């Protein structure tokens, strides 16, 4: 269960078809027993019979259990990525922000300079993964079913089949959602939040945890600005209000405006 919205994330219902044929096996002493935080017995559904305080204690215990186990696995992922020298980004946004189009352009422009791979997260379909595959970059699809976010365990298995010794950049496209993905560390170096100018400049104030936890904001679809009533400076001010040090790139995946500055940031990150 996602503690933020109550969605179900069954242990083995992600349809990512991992085959364990990679050279980094999964007995790295991270001691996860594949129960993924589902040790609670659903007494929280009946807590209203026992008073508010008991209900609060149950909710906190579930949250700590789920996020605690996720963070331990995220630590394993982070150590693995560091060992392999891979720069890993977790791209988050609401649906329709243009994440996949932005990824397609980034990969087409950079894949001859950086060795890239992509993990695609969606509730259903492999539509976006097929679009990414058309760029020639290796891609793995993770379907979360009823779940609304990726977690560290999914990413651990999502790397199956990638040649991690020959990767510079791993881009994770999370499920379109500005709430739950904010709470789940995947082991990435940075969260990158994509905000379209068609969404409204107040999104950073409406979803402060996501913007606070993100290192970078890509303000996308700037080619549409002449046709919209969108205040760019106000949006940037709101983003910095919740995350003073956030790096902001104004980009258009369609026209290419601003993309080179984003690419240079990626190149610099992949060098370290």
Domain boundaries of the chain, sorted by first residue: 85-271
Which tens digits make up the pLDDT trace of 32-45?
444 444 333 333 33
Retrieve residue 239's tokens: 């983003």
Burial 1-21 (b: 16+ CB within 10 A, else e): bbbbeebebeeeebebebeee
Q: Which residues of the chain have pLDDT under 70?
A: 1-63
* Cα 214 to Cα 148: distance, rounded to the nearest angstrom: 18
Q: In what order do the strands lie in the sheet with 116-122?
A: 139-143, 116-122, 169-173, 87-92, 190-196, 216-220, 247-250
Question: Does the domain made of 85-271 have the CATH classification 3.40.50.300?
Answer: yes
Q: Taking the CA atoms of the chain, what radius of gyration do you get in angstroms? A: 19
Q: Tell me how far the alpha carbon of residue 112 is from its chain's centroid.
A: 24
Which pLDDT score is estimated for 272?
A: 75
**pLDDT at position 66:** 83
pLDDT tens per residue across span 118-174: 999 999 999 999 999 999 999 999 999 888 999 999 999 999 889 999 999 999 999
Q: In the prediction, which pLDDT does 240 show?
A: 98
Site of tokens 């992509």: 118
Closest to 238 measured CA to CA, from 264, 212, 266, 218 = 212
**pLDDT score of 144:** 92
Contacts of 247 (CB under 8 A, 6+ apart): 215, 216, 217, 265
């Amino acid at each position: 269960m996602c503690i933020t919205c109550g969605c179900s994330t069954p242990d083995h219902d992600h349809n990512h078809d991992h085959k364990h044929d990679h050279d980094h096996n999964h007995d790295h002493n991270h001691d996860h027993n594949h129960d993924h935080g589902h040790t609670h017995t659903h007494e929280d559904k009946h807590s209203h019979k026992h008073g508010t305080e008991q209900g609060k204690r149950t909710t906190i215990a579930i949250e700590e259990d789920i996020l605690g186990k996720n963070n331990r696995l995220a630590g394993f992922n982070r150590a693995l990525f560091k060992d392999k020298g891979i720069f890993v980004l977790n791209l988050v946004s609401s649906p329709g922000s243009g994440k996949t189009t932005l990824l397609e352009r980034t990969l087409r422009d950079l894949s001859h300079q950086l060795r890239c791979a992509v993990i695609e997260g969606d509730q259903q379909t492999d539509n976006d993964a097929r679009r990414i595959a058309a760029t020639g970059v290796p891609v793995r699809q993770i379907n979360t079913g009823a779940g609304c976010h990726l977690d560290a365990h999914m990413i651990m298995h999502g790397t199956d089949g990638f040649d991690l010794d020959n990767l510079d950049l791993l881009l994770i496209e999370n499920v379109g959602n500005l709430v739950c993905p904010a709470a789940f560390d995947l082991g990435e170096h940075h969260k990158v939040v994509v905000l379209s100018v068609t969404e409204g400049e107040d999104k950073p104030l409406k979803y402060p945890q996501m913007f606070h936890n993100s290192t970078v904001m890509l303000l996308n679809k700037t080619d549409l600005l002449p046709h919209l009533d969108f205040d760019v400076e106000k949006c940037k001010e709101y983003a910095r209000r919740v995350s003073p040090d956030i790096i902001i790139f104004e980009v258009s995946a369609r026209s290419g405006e601003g993309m080179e500055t984003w690419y240079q940031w990626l190149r610099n990150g992949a060098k370290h």
